[in-house]
Amino acid sequence: MKRPLFAFVCLFCLASVAAAQEIKFAPLGDFRLENGETIRDLQIGYRTVGTLNADKSNAILWPTWFTGTSAQLLGFVGPGKLLDSSKYFVILVDALGDGVTTSPSNSVDQPHMRFPELTIRDMVNAEYKLATERLGLKHLRAVIGISMGGMQTFQWMVSYPEFMDKAIPVVGSPKLTSYDLLLWTAEEHAIEADAAWNHGDYASMPVAGMRTAMDIHILNLTTPAYRVAQTPPDKFPAFLAQSEQDLMKSFDANDWIRQLQAMMAQDVSKPFAGSMEKAAAAVRAQVLVIPATQDHMVNPTPALNFARLLHAQTLELTSNCGHLSPGCEGKKMDSAIQEFLEK
């Protein structure tokens, strides 16, 4: 049986989580960003599942995907699931700008677009501070992430190469292609073109702009073959209305913009004068790269190229589910990840 597809279109079923772990918040104070700006009074959200062993060698960190929250990751963790909580101490982290961790939508001092622009590297730096300063960890067994979480995983292995044994980026990228940039720029422009957007200072959600952004987003989540097979034309109005409604409820427009910008700025080679070869040479972790060959949302080419530079193990997801292939090919992916972690 397929696992529920991850929650880009709200198909992930939180009701399946038997015992949700409570959200915790780590105060990180004023947090300096890569661009020199500062997030004031940063509170990073996280959940932990499982027990840290005596030598603190079983911790796995999993940051959220775009528009995702740590609550949506809980269904991957537990007995008989992707990450077995009887073996691992799993840290599910709400990435900067997700509406749980300090974000444009919840910041008191820097609301809306007064919240500074983020990068994936900023997300990872905050997660490192959480792991080391709040949780007292000196090392991780692994970092794993899907989509924007996969981008963070690529960044983790370059920014903190000695801090983890293994890294597993799933449908992520070390640097976006022009195709990816076109997609995310179209979503950003759609939101900003809505008069109700008002440069982020909207009184209520800019519905027209967000609806267009979501339509673009949903279009690219899968492949034409998948959508044709899954949604007969007579069912399309109901499908689209439900998908738009679910996404509209789940994420703020300002948060959407700032996380989009973070993904578009992603480039693990930046500290290495643009050399992916030098970035790859810095990596010390064992790496399993999992791209989706039919991904229309995060092009698999940069991930596969980086894997070749690393001489890393790869697992290609090939279904017409596209970016949602981790859900459609869950059994295949889970087995490979579990085997990789046990090595």
Tell the residue number behind the tokens 């940063």, with chain if given. 42
User: pLDDT of 206-216, one tens digit each?
Assistant: 999 999 999 99
For domain 14-177+266-342, the CATH class is: alpha beta
Find out whether 132 and 258 touch, Cβ atoms under 8 Å. no
Is residue 12's pLDDT more than 70? no
Q: Checking phi first, is residue 40 left (phi over 0); if not, alpha (psi -120 to 50) or beta?
A: beta
Q: Identify the residue with better confidence: 10 or 183.
A: 183
pLDDT of residue 8: 41
State which fold the 180-259 domain adopts. Rna Polymerase Sigma Factor; Chain: A (1.10.1740)
Decide if 299 contacts 273 (C-beta within 8 A): no
CA distance 281 to 261: 27
Residue of 144, 92, 159 whose CA lies nearest to 289: 144
Give pLDDT, residue 100: 98
How far is residue 246's CA from residue 241's CA, in Å, rounded to a whole number?
9
Q: What is the pLDDT of residues 275-301, one digit of tens each?
A: 999 999 999 999 999 999 999 999 999
Once rounded to an integer, what is the mean pLDDT over residues 235-254? 88
Q: In whole angstroms, what is the distance from residue 157 CA to residue 286 CA?
A: 9
Q: Which amino acid is at 134?
A: R
Record the tokens describing residue 44, joined without a space: 């990073």
Contacts of 216 (CB under 8 A, 6+ apart): 183, 186, 187, 190
Identify the DSSP state of 316: -
Domain definitions of the chain by residue range = 14-177+266-342, 180-259
Pick from 70, 68, 69, 48: nearest CA to 59: 48
Residue 220 Cα to chain centre, angstroms: 16
Tell me the pTM: 0.94
To the nearest whole number, what is the mean pLDDT of the chain?
93
CB 44 within 8 A of CB 101: yes
Task: Report whether pLDDT(2) > 70.
Answer: no
Strands (E), the chain: 24-32, 38-49, 59-63, 89-93, 140-146, 164-170, 286-289, 313-314
pLDDT tens by residue, 51-98: 999 999 999 999 999 999 999 999 999 998 999 999 999 999 999 999
- Angle subtended by helix axes 178-192 and 253-264, to nearest 10: 160
Q: What percent of the chain has pLDDT over 90?
A: 89
> For residue 275, what are the CA distances in angstroms to 59, 175, 269, 281?
31, 11, 5, 10
